[in-house]
Amino acid sequence: MGKIYQTLHDFETADLPEKTLSFWKIAGPGAILVGLSIGAGEIIIWPRIVAEFGSSMIWAAVLGVFLQLWINFEVGRWTVATGETVYTGYSRVWRGFAPLFIFITILSWIAPGWGRASGLALKALLVGPTWGTDTFWGTDTFWTIITFAAVTLILFGPKMIYNSVEKTVELLVAIVTIGLIVVAISVGSLATWKDLAHGIVNVGYIDPGMTIKSFFIALVFAGAGGTANLFYTFYLRDKNIGMGGHLPGLQNPLRGRTETVPSTGFIFSETEENQSRFQAWWNYIKKDQILFFWALNTVTILLFIVGALAVLHPKGIVPSKGTLIWDEAQILGEVWGGTGRTIFLLVGVATLFGTQLALIDGVARSISDIVYTNIKGAQKRELSWWYLLVAGTWISAGCLITYVMEKQGVSDLGFLLNAAYMGGFAMAIYVPLTLYINLKFLPKSAKPSWICIIMMCIASLVYVGFAVSSIIWEITK
């Protein structure tokens, strides 16, 4: 097996770049992660749970986001301290993690649930869900192709891929947040908010009708979920955060010459200056994740839940697979008129398209980085070439799979649940692994504190425990 791997060089010694800009001038990585997080879990999975079971398990949505905050801290710690992606860190432990994470990434995300769901939301917004059902122009496949075409333009139009993704996702997150606040204020009564509060503090309760598998999926997708949390490592590098300042950003290979990107990173000497610089960057990571990921993500998932709690649950409506966004928009239309329906459909499009865009970018970055760093001969091509290959293949496969699945009558929700389920098993592997590489390889002043260690151990127990329980459930069901 050693013949397929290229040599993984030891860390070079380098000083940490100094943090010279204010937080707001280099904000962005956390915002993209929020764009990923405000996805299917927020707009489809959790509202559907609330529509069926009421507010009793909302605590798990809040817990899911909180646990992922600590995971993102440790992903950020590794990249700030070394400039490497966490995937390279995992390969330093065992080279077999390289093909394993390629396999997990493909299995988790290849079914284009977000593309199909955002296509359906776009169709509902522009022409209504039943328009053209007897023609190709009204099919899920056609509208999914439209969303993938938009993703292609955003990724491969501008010169720097990261800048384009960041600006687009920030705009979409703003649309989602403002729209949700308007909807929640319009439909939420005092009783709704009291119900929400009761669900948040009802810690530990799981409705008897909820299977272990379904609960695991819901917990994983409260937040980014699956390998999506690991995409943070790329956003920090391209934003030149910490040791990422020694590395060039990923450039669009269709827009001219690109730079060679080193496959391995750096380690800093324990000088007083480097320790001070690391602390400044670590404070940036904490502020970035607490403000954008934890606070904004928690608020938005609860606002989505308020909508379902106010308009679906009281009527006893549990939307059928694939129609939740339209069903909730229709009921909002009855309560609040056409404006309410339009705003919610716009929120749905912005939510799902933002996730679709960030996922394609993150998956292409992940697989291209793993191949470029680990596979012998891969560095004969530039990293941006591998990114183009993976992204192009992913978009083409997404359109084809949507066509096949639509013909077979498989819903977009089936795609999404599969991604969450596989993502949960991925987290059972990489959460303890991330803590391990940070404790093993980083300089003493950059190692996790006791509170971070405790929280990562708790997160590891949660995801490993659910993964084992899910396997037992699958075997014995």
Instruction: Answer whether 0.85 is exceeded by the pTM.
Output: yes
Q: Where are the domains of the chain?
A: 2-476
| DSSP class per residue in 139-156 | SHHHHHHHHHHHHHHHHH
Least confident of 115-119, 230-234, 333-337: 333-337
**3-class DSSP assignment, residue 13:** strand
Least confident of 10-19, 160-169, 274-283, 326-335: 326-335
Residues 52-78: what's their mean pLDDT?
A: 95
CATH hierarchy code of domain 2-476: 1.20.1740
Banded model confidence at residue 233, pLDDT cuts 50, 70, 90: very high
pLDDT of residue 411: 67
Distance of CA 431 to the CA centre of its chain: 15
Residues 430-446: what's their mean pLDDT?
A: 98
Cα 303 from Cα 294, distance rounded (Å): 14
- CB 362: neighbour CB atoms within 10 A? 26
**3-class DSSP assignment, residue 251:** strand
66 backbone dihedrals φ, ψ, rounded to 5°: -65, -45
**3-class DSSP assignment, residue 14:** coil
Banded model confidence at residue 415, pLDDT cuts 50, 70, 90: low
**3-class DSSP assignment, residue 5:** strand
Token pair belonging to 453: 């260690």
Which of 122-131, 181-190, 286-295, 330-339 has the largest mean confidence? 286-295
Residues 239-251: what's their mean pLDDT?
A: 86
Residues 141-163: what's their mean pLDDT?
A: 91
257 backbone dihedrals φ, ψ, rounded to 5°: -70, 140
Are 26 and 239 in contact by the 8 Å Cβ rule? The answer is yes
**3-class DSSP assignment, residue 210:** coil
Q: Look at residue 217 and tell me whether its pLDDT is greater than 80.
A: yes
Higher pLDDT, 263 or 49: 49
**3-class DSSP assignment, residue 12:** strand
Residues 10-15: what's their mean pLDDT?
A: 94
Mean pLDDT for the chain?
Answer: 89
Least confident of 4-13, 36-45, 199-208: 36-45
**284-326: per-residue pLDDT in tens?**
999 999 999 999 999 999 988 888 888 777 777 766 655 667 7
pLDDT of residue 392: 96
Match 């909820």 to its residue by tokens: 210
Q: Which helix (H) or strand (E) holds 453?
A: helix 450-476
pLDDT of residue 322: 57
Least confident of 127-136, 233-242, 387-396: 127-136
Banded model confidence at residue 341, pLDDT cuts 50, 70, 90: confident
The DSSP secondary-structure symbol of 171 reads H
Match 């986001």 to its residue by tokens: 65
Question: pLDDT over 90 for what percent of the chain?
Answer: 55
